[in-house]
Amino acid sequence: MKILKVIVILLLFATPLKAEGFHRFSAGLNTGYTTLLGGTPPWYTVENTYGLKFDTHLKNNWRLGIGFSKCKIYDDSSADNEFKFGSDDATRGRSWNGYDLSMFLDYRLMPYSSRFSVGAGFGGGISVWKISDADTDTTLKAIGERGETVDLAATEIILLSRLGAEYRIHPRFKLGLDLYANYLTGAGLEFDQVFEDDLSKWQIKVAANLTYMFGMGDGPGGWKSGRSREVIMQPVYETDKHVPQPQEIVIPVEKRADADGDGIPDFSDDCPETPSEAYGMVDLRGCPVDVDCDGVPDYLDNCPRNRLGALVDGYGCPTDGDNDGVPDGLDNCPDSDSGLAVDHNGCIDLSILEKPVILNIKYQSGSFEIDRATKEILNGIARILIKAPGVRTEINGYTDNIGTSEANKGLSQKRANRVRDYLVNMGVDKGRLTPVGRGEANFIASNDTREGRQKNRRVELVFFIQ
């Protein structure tokens, strides 16, 4: 693991070499952690693993490869789950020693020219393993299919699946992280069935890998033979037979140069002056890609995944003139009031007006003055109503049952009028506000208690959206 870290650091700080185009083959080293799942306690712990792999490009984004890995995993009598890291000598009982040889088929989701890529794969192979005593390293014994005593060792067929991501840190090197789930099928075991049922069925591995690419080609659609020339078979017509004959045309190595260092040879590069920092972010014709189509190429774009149609600044990040969270260019209401809730189109969200707003104003008995907390609520409502001129509001005032019905009706009208006047002072058109005194009506709590009467002394705002 330490050696892998040192190599990665040296590559990151080294001056990048000129890109040499498409590489057909790759070989890599990996190291990480693995464990066995299933079976019966004591559980195996998470231990180190390492390996290597070799793969070759097939067609489009498919690659075929072979891999080798090795690990030694201990069980631990003190482990209460299957994901304990490491074990102590005092609690170890067994060790599982395994060597895996596999063949796999991978599919990469991004094109070869992308600096970052994710992929998935599947395959199969064999696992050669044995279970030994942790102290003496002698192979343990088991019951065979015919009741005989046999070594607890086997060559078992496995099925594997992989998810991974990789990042090109150099024209010839990639750094990646893979997650493997290997299923131990049981094919190849020769133990008693009851004993086989107690064995682990899954091996999980997480590994970092460093990959070296080699073998020149001219891209996913073809193959380039040799390093000093390219041979093209071109038909030549003879005047007497008119039969096409192959002819070799040798292209000097100078014509395979990559002057702008973007990974695309000059003879295939439609954008030969692309800056070298665009390496890994160009298309197959050598031109910078712009995934979000905002006019700023990805290698200069600080926000490369904008919504299509958003206006951006010089760094590729969306502008938002009214600070409502909806980018300019997608904002149907670009002058909405900052701080108000908006919908996905950037316009005032009127859903909060679909239900009546109850103002539990702390009125003293017989009073119609608005308290400070209610004024703060009305300030927010006024801002919405000013921006939504199509909304009409009915202001209903209510009282408790203390006093005469006639007096309470007049008091509720004053309370509704006072709320209307406050909204008008905040800038709301008076013609859109209708105050109504309801008096002793529509009680929402009991009038037998002080708290209940306080709740009944209220004003309700009912909104009508046109």
Judged by average pLDDT, the poorest of 41-45, 95-99, 192-196, 240-244 is: 240-244
Q: What percent of the chain has pLDDT over 90?
A: 31
Q: Is the pLDDT of residue 151 over 70?
A: yes
Q: Are 97 and 129 in contact (CB under 8 A)?
A: yes
**Residue 114 CB neighbour total at 10 angstroms:** 20
Average of per-residue pLDDT across 337-358: 79
Nearest by Cα to 379 from 432, 340, 334, 437: 340
Angle between helices 372-387 and 405-425 (to 10 degrees): 60
Query: What's the CA gap between 440 and 405, in Å, rounded?
Result: 6
**Tokens in use for 227?**
């390093």
Q: What is the pLDDT confidence band of residue 7, given thresholds at 50, 70 and 90?
A: low
**Residue 347 CB neighbour total at 10 angstroms:** 18
Q: Is the pLDDT of residue 163 over 60?
A: yes
Q: Is the pLDDT of residue 222 over 70?
A: no
* 241/431: higher pLDDT: 431
Average of per-residue pLDDT across 335-364: 79
**Tokens in use for 49?**
């693993």
* 431/38: higher pLDDT: 431
Q: Report the chain's C-alpha Rg in angstroms.
A: 37
Terminal C-alpha separation, the chain: 68
CB-based burial label for 235 (10 Å; 0-12, 13-18, 19+):
exposed
- Residue 225: the pLDDT is 39
**Tokens in use for 316?**
């590729």
Q: Are 345 and 331 in contact (CB under 8 A)?
A: yes
* 302/1: higher pLDDT: 302
Query: What's the CA gap between 146 and 193, in Å, rounded?
Result: 10
- Residue 231: the pLDDT is 40
pTM: 0.47
Q: What is the pLDDT confidence band of residue 338, given thresholds at 50, 70 and 90?
A: low
Nearest by Cα to 117 from 165, 157, 75, 73: 165
Range picked from 30-34, 114-118, 241-245 for highest mean pLDDT: 30-34
Q: What is the pLDDT confidence band of residue 207, given thresholds at 50, 70 and 90?
A: very high
Q: Are 29 and 70 in contact (CB under 8 A)?
A: no
E strand segments, 194-336 = 202-217, 230-237, 244-251
Collapsing DSSP to helix, strand or coil, 445 comes out as coil
Which domains does the chain show, CATH number per domain?
2-217 (2.40.160.20), 350-465 (3.30.1330.60)
DSSP letters for 331-378: -SSTTPPTTS-B-TTSSB-GGGGSSPEEE---PPTT--PPPHHHHHHH
* 15/341: higher pLDDT: 341
The DSSP letter of residue 421 is H
Query: What's the CA gap between 308 and 329, in Å, rounded?
Result: 9
Q: Are 304 and 291 in contact (CB under 8 A)?
A: yes
Q: Is the pLDDT of residue 438 over 60?
A: yes
Query: What's the CA gap between 374 and 362, in Å, rounded?
Result: 9
177 strand-pairing partners: 165, 208
380 strand-pairing partners: none
* 126/194: higher pLDDT: 126
* Residue 409 vs residues 365, 415, 454, 457: alpha-carbon distances, Å: 14, 10, 16, 12
Q: Are 381 and 451 in contact (CB under 8 A)?
A: no
Amino acid type, 305: R
Q: What is the pLDDT confidence band of residue 224, given thresholds at 50, 70 and 90?
A: very low
Q: Are 221 and 47 in contact (CB under 8 A)?
A: no
